[in-house]
Amino acid sequence: MSKSTKTSDVKKKLGKPSLKPREVTEKPVGKLVFDTLNPRLPSYLNKGSETDVIQWMLDEANIVELMGAIGEQGYFEGEPLIVVETKANKGVFEVVEGNRRLAAVKLLSHPELAPTHKNAVATASAQAKHKPTDIPVLVFDERSEVLRYLAYRHITGVEQWNPLQKARYLKQLANEPDFKKLGKDELRQRLAKEIGSNANYVARLLAGLAVYAKIADQGFFKIPGLDERTISYSVLTTALTYSSLARHIGLDSPTDDDAAKIKLKGLEELAKWVFEENTEGFTRVGESRGLKKLARIVETDKALQKFRDGRSLDEAFAFTTGPAEAFRDALRQGKSQLEIARDTVHLIDNHQQEDADLLKEIQRITRLVSGHVEDSLANSTKKSTDAK
Q: Strand (E) positions, the chain?
A: 4-5, 24-28, 32-34, 81-85, 93-97, 134-140
Instruction: Provide the pLDDT confidence category of residue 113 given band limits of 50, 70 and 90.
Output: very high
Which helix (H) or strand (E) segment holds residue 270: the answer is helix 264-275
Task: Give tens-digit pLDDT for 218-243.
Answer: 999 999 999 888 899 889 999 999 99
Average pLDDT of span 196-225: 91
**pTM of the prediction?**
0.58
Per-residue pLDDT, 21: 56
Per-residue pLDDT, 20: 56
Average pLDDT of span 87-109: 91
Average pLDDT of span 354-361: 94
**Whether the predicted pLDDT of 110 surpasses 80:** yes
Average pLDDT of span 245-259: 94
Task: Give tens-digit pLDDT for 31-84.
Answer: 999 987 777 777 777 666 889 889 988 988 788 988 988 998 899 887 889 899
Percentage of the chain lying above the pLDDT 70 cut: 88
| Dihedral sign (CA 289, 294, 296, 299) | negative
Q: What are the backbone angles phi and psi of residue 331, rounded to the nearest 5°? A: -65, -45
Q: Is 228 helix (H, G, I), strand (E, B) or coil?
A: coil
Per-residue pLDDT, 240: 94
**C-alpha dihedral, 356 to 359 to 364 to 366, nearest 10°:** -170
